[in-house]
Copies of this chain bind each other. A is one copy, B any other.
Amino acid sequence: MKETLASSERTCDKNHKYIVCSQCAMQPICKPVQREQTSLNISDNYLSKRIDSSTNEVLFAQNQPLTAIYAVCSGAYKLTQCNRLNEEKIVGFRFPGELIGEDAIHPKAYAYNAIALNESSVCKVNIKELKACSQVVPDLQLSLIDLLTKQSAMSQSQFQSFIAKKTAESLIAAFILNIIQRKSVYDHQGGEVKLTISRDNIANFLGLRRETLSRIISKFQKERYIKQSGKQLSILNKNALIALANL
């Protein structure tokens, strides 16, 4: 877990795509600090620090006390919990531009493990420093409120698909739409994403068996709703998926 200083300018080394700060979820927090930095002498790098994670590396673990919140810069992370028999249960995925751990602000401990799905990186914002800053920079608190409600709205919308679930088909349709929508925010090739999540991980998250997922994905392809070539997934008939998801 290599720590480097964050910077507004992201370099794109080889095929590793970093999100730019202007599209980052942490922007409302970083921005006011930058604005005031001359008068307050708070450097750009004071609040935000970059961390690279390699595949399967744990960013933080469940029940650890909250020390920082994170924004994904590149790659992808899974959020997991363990039930009594140490079975892993995936409770969410996070992509570039999204936050991780912000929902630990109240309970003051992380509710899940955050694990990199592949070579990934985050911006880390120390919570103590954030609180200290928010005393000095009045805008920061309002930004934080905005940030929290925004992120909570996102979780809410995913909750809807689960609660609205009638069949496995509707759940999977909703999942595909959700992923496409979230990933297209930063790599804006509408209706097409590189699926970095394994079938097992998706099935685990959706509470389905890998076989069921596979069968329905096959069916969606036969019906020409979607097409997959390798890890690339494209939507051919978005309306059909929306109808199935029935949100």
Residues of A within 8 A of B (CB): 81, 83-84, 89, 91, 103, 105-107, 111, 141-142, 144-146, 148-150, 152-153, 155-156, 159-160, 162-166, 205, 207, 246-247
Contacts and interface: CB of A to CB of B under 8 A. Distances in A.
Contact of A89 (B81, B83, B84, B163): B163
A106 B141 contact: no
From DSSP, what is the main secondary structure of chain A's interface residues?
Answer: helix
A156 B103 contact: yes
Nearest to A246: B83
A162 B156 CA distance: 13
Q: How many copies of the shown chain assemble into the complex?
A: 2
Contact of A103 (B141, B142, B152, B246): B152
A84 B164 CA distance: 13
Contact of A144 (B89, B107, B145, B207): B145
A162 B164 contact: no
Contacts of A152: 103, 106, 148, 152, 155
A141 B148 contact: no
